Amino acid sequence: MRRFLQELKEFPKKGDWILLILCLVISGFGLVAIASATSADKFGGNGLRYIIIQLAATLMGVAAYVTMSSIDTETFSEHRNTMVVFNTLLLLMLIPFGTDNNTGNRSWLDIPLIPFMIQPAEICKITYVLIMASVMNSYQNRISHPRSIFHMAFHLVLLVGLNMVLSKDAGVSLIFVFIFIGMAFTGGVSLLWFGLAASAIVVAAPILWQFLGTHQKNRIMILFDPTIDPLGINERYHTKINLMSLTGGGMSGQGLFNGNRTQSGSLFAQHTDYIFSSMGEEMGFIGCVLIMAMEFAIIVRCIWVGTRCQDYMRRLVCFGAASAMIFQVMINVGMCIGVMPVIGLTLPLISYGGSSVVTIYAMLGLVSGAHARPQSQSHERYIQPYR
């Protein structure tokens, strides 16, 4: 605790202010986007409520950023098993308290006496990055050994399996997979393992395909088969409307609070999953480029901090955070332009969603901690035993 308080006091000097400022800028942009998207009549004049909640989540996110930045990464590593148990229990809470929040996926916790809902898988993203970094750090001199690979794969299968069984949320589950791939690749795992994994996926795909629902299959197949819903009244409906909105703004857009489909409420989830289409309509191509540039700047900053870290585990944490951001931006924008299946992921720090905002700030706080302490400081406390 004394160490944490000392680091907390030194945050103004050692924390990554560039990353924090980038996050605050894009959060401010997101608040404007949400204000415009929720001004439509279908929100019943409750737009201010969404803004207040998003602003409160941003303030909580900043607090989480500072807190996570002030905790030594090795402190988390020493409690790896505790984090595994925490993830498991958190996801198991979906059994008594899970709700779909009108999304079709039972991904939220609606706990009595708590005035807001929590998406546990979002929290698990943070702990999963730390668990992966800790496991890989313990095997860093033999990272491609089968024991190392199976140990890493165990944590992935456990988390993805629990989340898919309990929530059916394929979108967040795929984030864990992409974090695994990003950290394994940058951590030096042999390309042979990636080839074996790709082969296993090809073999298993026909079997796994049978377990998908009809609507899930169609969401994937419409990317390749134009004969599925050619009129755009079923599976292609949301993609068609969102693409029309995205391209309807031209170069400079129709103006905030003036988008035809946004203000008429024609867009589905226009303040969450499809806010990029809403902004394309109202702010045009220039606004979309600005959004992408801000998201890209955060990702580049994470990678830059990681490359400057002398410690293997801290470097992996930075690359894990960057991997999560890359995947989420890629899928969200891809959904809006019709080149990715619709799996329901928010655009980081732009879309409305308290759990997403707070956890992204907390995850990036780990990057700030790596910036403040780029090498191991375990010798300042004690000599760590061999793990």
C-beta separation of 315 from 307 below 8 A:
yes
- pLDDT for the residue numbered 377: 65
pTM over 0.85: yes
How many of the other CB atoms lie within 10 Å of CB of 209?
11
Distance CA 157, CA 176 (A): 10
C-beta separation of 62 from 78 below 8 A:
no
Q: Kindly tell me if the per-residue pLDDT of 305 is higher than 90.
A: yes
Chain centre to alpha carbon of residue 71? 21
**Widest Cα–Cα separation across the chain:** 67
Write out the H or E segment, with its range, that includes residue 270.
none
- Which residue stretches of 110-213 are H helix? 120-138, 146-167, 170-186, 191-209
Q: What is the DSSP letter of 142?
A: G
* Band of pLDDT at residue 385, cut at 50, 70 and 90: very low
- Average pLDDT (19-33) is 96
Residue with tokens 């702990």: 127
- pLDDT for the residue numbered 386: 47
For residue 263, CA distances in Å to 26, 47, 50 come to 22, 12, 16
- Torsion angle, alpha carbons of 357, 57, 170, 346, to 10: -60
pLDDT digits (tens, 9 = 90+) for 166-215: 988 888 888 999 999 999 999 999 999 999 999 998 998 888 787 777 77
pLDDT digits (tens, 9 = 90+) for 358-370: 999 999 999 999 9
Phi, psi of 172 (to 5 degrees): -65, -35
- pLDDT for the residue numbered 378: 56
C-beta separation of 367 from 321 below 8 A:
yes
Dihedral sign from CA coordinates of 309, 313, 318, 322 = positive
pLDDT digits (tens, 9 = 90+) for 122-166: 999 999 999 999 999 999 999 999 999 999 999 999 999 999 889
pLDDT digits (tens, 9 = 90+) for 61-85: 999 999 999 998 888 888 999 999 9
- CA proximity to 46, closest of 265, 307, 218: 265
Burial environment of residue 244 by CB neighbours within 10 A (0 to 12, 13 to 18, 19 or more): middle
* Band of pLDDT at residue 383, cut at 50, 70 and 90: very low
Outline where DSSP puts E strands in the chain: 98-99, 108-109
- pLDDT for the residue numbered 354: 87
For residue 80, CA distances in Å to 41, 159, 266 come to 48, 14, 46
Q: Which of 99-103, 300-304, 378-382 has the lowest mean pLDDT?
A: 378-382
